[in-house]
Structures are given as C-alpha cells and as structure tokens.
Structure 1
Amino acid sequence: MAGVLDSVNQRTQLVGQNRLELLLFRLRGRQIYGINVFKVKEVLQCPKLSSIPNSRAVVRGVAHIRGQTIPVIDLGMAIGLPGIAQEDLPNSFVIITEYNRKTQGFLVSAVDRIMNMNWEDILPPPKGSGKDVYLTAVTKIEDKLAEILDVEKILSEVSPLREDVTEAIVTRSAQRAPGHLPVLVVDDSSVARRQIERCLTAIGMEVITRNDGRQAYEYLKEITADGSKAGDHFSLIISDVEMPEMDGYTLVTRIKTDPALSGLFVMLHTSLSGVFNKAMVQKVGADDFMAKFSPDELAERVMEIIDQN
C-alpha cells in the first residue's frame, strides 16, 4: 500500500507523452476499475465517517481529513452495485480526489496498484454498452478487462452542477455580432459534452463534438485536406485532457505542429484542476486552460476569445 501512496505524487512527468497512470481498485467483487492518478490526492484506510442528516444513501458520510471535511461517496452504490456493508468499512479504502474544483472521497473495497499505460491502449467502451453505462473507457490489464469510470457522470448524479448560463450573460451574447464559426468540443464524457454544448448554445454558438483526441485530429485533417486552414472552419477548439486513444496533450501537440491546424485557438478544459498550472499548458502549446465546470466562466471566456480573434 505504501508504494501506491508514494506513486500518487509522481504525476506531472507524463505530460505530453500520451501516457497516464491508472489507479486500479475493486468494488465488491473481482472486477477491476480505474481512475487517472492525476485526479487522486491521497489514498487511505477508511477513516471514521460522520453521517449527514437527509443525505442520499450513496453518500456514506463525511470524513475529517487534514483540516478538511470531505464527503465520502460509496462508488459501487453510485454505479448501481451493492454498497459496502457497514461492518466492512474499517477494512475498506477511501480515494481522495479532486474533480471539477471539488474534493471528495470515493469509498472502495480494495486498492490494487498503479499502472503506467499509453493512452493508445485505452479504448472507448464497447458499442452497445448503452447510454446509462458509467464507463468512459476500458483497457486490458494482464488479459483482464479494466473499466475506467466516468466520474463526471457519477458526480453529476450525486451532486449536480449548475449547467445554465445566467440571463445577464445570455443577454450580453445576443448583442454581439452574428455569424461566428462553430466551436469544436472534444471530450470522452457524454455528460461533459452535454454541459459544454448547452453552455455554448445558450450564447448563440454552433457546436460540433468529437469523443476523443484521435477522432478530433482525424476530423481536422479531413476538413483541411482541400488546402483550407482549421481556422477557416472553427472559432476555437475546447478539449478535455484525459481521453482514450489520444489525450488532450498529444492532440494539442499535433495541432500546433501541423501548418494547416496550428492557427486554431486551443483551450484545454479539464477536471484536473488541482494539479494543472500555466507551465504545463505552455509545455504542450495550448493557448488557454480552464478548470471544469463553470458555465458562466466558460461562456464569458469563449466570447472573449472569439471577439479578440
């Protein structure tokens, strides 16, 4: 277990290499699940939990950790599996994570190890999985299928974010000159794509989406095959960072080194808010970075970018 905790701190060296580290864990049963170590702040034996009156059953309580009061979500229960029994809590683990500017703990029955992997080995969920599946990707580890959870979908159900742009910003957007080029949105989470599309549509923008970096790159190459530039087709691209097959870092690098694409403004828009900084944005050549998800901030920033370009 000490090796897992030590490895959690070795994060930023993978930036721009289309690689990631997956923290592997189990819920109740033999199935292996994973989340990106980038989003993990700490892993610890389940501490004493204090109940929250009138909270949903999936929130098992709050833990007081290093001066913070952190809600602890039973991850198995959140995806429709049986929750961890009360008597098993002392032998369970809590994965402390930061997503979308919030810190929360995920209760799991066992933490396995950390695997260093290439994003090319991380694949979209099998077709036919259904829209209600809580997976954002899958991968093979020692001939076993590991399921990478769509944590944004889980959190949107457990603790919904406000998704609507305020009326004042919508009104201001209506006063701008019409006729802007579409925005290309790249994100492997269906929830995140919906949130961003809803935000940008509210301010009058047309949105085209792709599910991962490879899809987006191939699409950009296709539409510029006639000799046009990517900037002739899109106002900007808003891309997630962690995506199967090709991550956002690699997508940015390929865009910025391709003469037909390099002029396109690229914003990285990711829930990796706790560990991301301007130096890392500059390392991969992105033009901007914004932590998920504030509809007003995103709407205002997109209008600002378009008006400046």
Structure 2
Amino acid sequence: MAGVLDSVNQRTQLVGQNRLELLLFRLRGRQTYGINVFKVKEVLQCPKLSSIPQSRSVVRGVSNIRGETIPIIDLSMAIGLPGIPAESLPTSFVIITEYNRKTQGFLVTGVDRIMNMNWEEILPPPKGTGRDVYLTAVTKVDDKLIEIIDVEKILSEFSPLGEDVTEAVLQKSADRVPGHLPILVVDDSVVARRQIERCLTAIGMEVVLKNDGKQALDYLKSLTADGSKAIDHLAMIISDVEMPEMDGYTLVTRIKEDPALGDMFIMLHTSLSGVFNQAMVKKVGADDFMAKFSPDELAERVMEIIDQA
C-alpha cells in the first residue's frame, strides 16, 4: 500500500465531475466497506500500540506516526461488531484519516483496493435502516454490496465536538436585525445536519435541510420554476462535499452555471480539511470554505456573510 495514495494530481481531475475514489477495506467477516480516499492520509501495517489508561475500549491504543501521536480506533467495535482480536493485530492495517480537523487511525483487518466511481453510483442507505446503523451510503462493486461508513457519527460518539454556540457569539447575534431569508443546508450525515441546524437556529436563522446535492438542486429548481431567482428565497447555501448521487463540488458547478441560481453564495462546509480541498473549492467556483466543525466559527462567518449581503 506504500504508493497507493500517491495520486493527488490524478485525483484533482475528478473534482467537478461527480466522481470519487473509494478505498475498499474489510473488518471482521466478508462484508466490504468503503471510505473516500480524499480523507485518507496513509495506510500502513498496524504499528505497535501503546495503551491509554481509562480510555474507551473502542480505542485500542495510540501510536507515534511521523512524529504525531494518533489514537487508533477499532472500526469493527465502533460500528457494533466484535473487536479485532489481539492476536490478529500484527496482520491488520491502520487507515490514517483526517476528519473535522483531527487525525485518527482506523484499525481494519484488510485493505483491498481503490475504486474510481461516479457519485451517481453511491446511493443513500435503504429506507428503514434506522438511526443506529453507521452508514451514510451504499454501492455495488462486482455485484457485491459496499457499505460506506458514517465516520462523523462514529467520531461524534468517540470524541464528541462541542455543538453549542458560546454566549459571546450569541450576544452578537442578539444585536442583529431579525427576519433574514432561510439558509439551505445540504449534508448526507444525520449528525452533521443536526450540528449545523443547532448552530444556525441559535443565532436566529431559519434552516432548510437536504440530504444530498441532487435533492438540493431539485429544491432550488422548484423555487425558481416561477421565473424568480434563488436569492429571492434563500440567504445562502451551506453544503457538504461528500454526498451520494451528487457531491458538493458538482452541486456548486451546476448552481453556478444556471442563471436563476448562480448568484447564490455557497459555502462548502466539509470534514475534508486541508490545502488540497481549499484549492478544489476555488476550482469549482464556491464562494467560501470552512472545515467542520466549530459552531462559533460557523455562526460568526454566517452572520458576516448575511450582514454584508
């Protein structure tokens, strides 16, 4: 796996084309799972782990990797399956990822390959799956079902982020003129939608929620079917990047090329942090980018954008 992720230049060509690269891996059993390569920093054989006193059992330990102490999470245990046995650790792998401004490793039993796919092939979980299932999407590769893990849900349980806007920021919002147009929030993660909605309603904003880019684009077109413009109905759009059926990059491209929609201010708000993602945001024409998730930063930035409009 040493050189499997050395394709950044090639992957930049996927942006705006509704495509992604999916790293396929296995936990216990025969089921195959997937994770977006954009979130993967490195894949390596399981290193020596040091235990952490009084840590949760899902954290198998920490390891010093390239000068950084990184927690290693047993992904099998995190989604409710039996943990990976200690005797299997030497033959297991760790997927080092960056989510929501934090780096962590996910312990898996095996890593298969990288698949170049279209987001249209990535579908929401079947209806009736339930809130306790750790999936954001599913797809098929070689007629086999691939389950795409909701990492944000896992991390919200293992290392919860503060979701409340502080009093200092709330005081700023109290001085603002009420009555702004709603904000459209687009995100496939139930956890992320809840966090953003809670943040925005705290500062007095009305929120419209959609689960993916296709839903959002259909909604925008329905608003403007009477000949009006999207800016007559909405203050701004806050969108995730990774979403089934239509990703955030493609959503931005489709919005900006439509005369009825193109004036909308779009912020991409994503756990895909880093310089690379900022370059891609610029490439597709988004107006702003913010890495998830800081409620104060998001609240203050939204107030600034709306007040300047």
* 2:307 aligned partner: 307
Give runs of aligned pairs for residues 52-71 of structure 1, distance below 5 A. 52-71=52-71
Residue 107 of structure 2 aligns to which amino acid in structure 1?
L
Residue 238 of structure 1 aligns to which amino acid in structure 2?
I
For 1:5 and 1:102, the matched residues in 2 are separated by 19
Give runs of aligned pairs for residues 1-309 of structure 1, distance below 5 A. 1-2=1-2, 4-7=4-7, 10-309=10-309
Residue 194 of structure 2 aligns to which amino acid in structure 1?
R
Residue 31 of structure 2 aligns to which amino acid in structure 1?
Q
For 1:100 and 1:46, the matched residues in 2 are separated by 23
- Which segments of 5 or more consecutive residues in structure 2 lack a partner in the other structure? none
Measured after TM superposition, the shift of residue 177 of structure 1 is 0.4
Over 3 Å counting, the alpha-carbon distance change for 1:130 and 1:149 in structure 2 is: same
Q: Secondary structure at the match of 1:35?
A: strand
For 1:200 and 1:2, the matched residues in 2 are separated by 42
For 2:278 and 2:136, the matched residues in 1 are separated by 27
Q: Secondary structure at the match of 1:23?
A: strand
Contact preservation (8 Å) 1:120, 1:246? yes
For 1:219 and 1:117, the matched residues in 2 are separated by 25
- Structure 1 residues 70-100: Cα deviation after superposition (integer angstroms, max 9, x where no partner): 0000000000001100111000000000000
Measured after TM superposition, the shift of residue 8 of structure 1 is 7.2
- Paired positions, count: 309
Contact preservation (8 Å) 1:8, 1:40? no
- Which segments of 5 or more consecutive residues in structure 1 lack a partner in the other structure? none
Over 3 Å counting, the alpha-carbon distance change for 1:19 and 1:289 in structure 2 is: same
Contact preservation (8 Å) 1:38, 1:275? no
Contact preservation (8 Å) 1:71, 1:105? yes
- Structure 1 residues 91-141: Cα deviation after superposition (integer angstroms, max 9, x where no partner): 000000000000000000000000000000000000010111100000010
For 1:297 and 1:2, the matched residues in 2 are separated by 37
For 2:304 and 2:172, the matched residues in 1 are separated by 12
Measured after TM superposition, the shift of residue 6 of structure 1 is 3.9
Residue 301 of structure 2 aligns to which amino acid in structure 1?
R
Measured after TM superposition, the shift of residue 277 of structure 1 is 4.5
Q: Secondary structure at the match of 2:13?
A: helix
Measured after TM superposition, the shift of residue 60 of structure 1 is 0.3
Q: Secondary structure at the match of 2:4?
A: helix
For 1:206 and 1:2, the matched residues in 2 are separated by 47
Point out 4+ residue stretches in structure 1 off by more than 6 angstroms.
none
Over 3 Å counting, the alpha-carbon distance change for 1:278 and 1:37 in structure 2 is: closer
For 1:180 and 1:281, the matched residues in 2 are separated by 26
Normalised TM-score (structure 1):
0.98
Normalised TM-score (structure 2):
0.98
Over 3 Å counting, the alpha-carbon distance change for 1:7 and 1:23 in structure 2 is: farther
* CA RMSD in angstroms, aligned pairs only: 1.2
Measured after TM superposition, the shift of residue 3 of structure 1 is 5.3
For 1:23 and 1:77, the matched residues in 2 are separated by 20
Residue 51 of structure 2 aligns to which amino acid in structure 1?
S
Choose 214-223 or 3-12, whichever is displaced more.
3-12
Q: Secondary structure at the match of 1:260?
A: coil
- Structure 1 residues 139-178: Cα deviation after superposition (integer angstroms, max 9, x where no partner): 0100000000000000000000001000111111011001
Residue 243 of structure 2 aligns to which amino acid in structure 1?
M
Contact preservation (8 Å) 1:271, 1:291? yes
Contact preservation (8 Å) 2:186, 2:213? yes
Residue 261 of structure 2 aligns to which amino acid in structure 1?
L
Q: Secondary structure at the match of 1:77?
A: helix
For 2:139 and 2:7, the matched residues in 1 are separated by 20
Residue 46 of structure 2 aligns to which amino acid in structure 1?
C
For 2:60 and 2:255, the matched residues in 1 are separated by 44
Q: Secondary structure at the match of 2:90?
A: helix
For 2:278 and 2:112, the matched residues in 1 are separated by 32
For 1:76 and 1:21, the matched residues in 2 are separated by 22
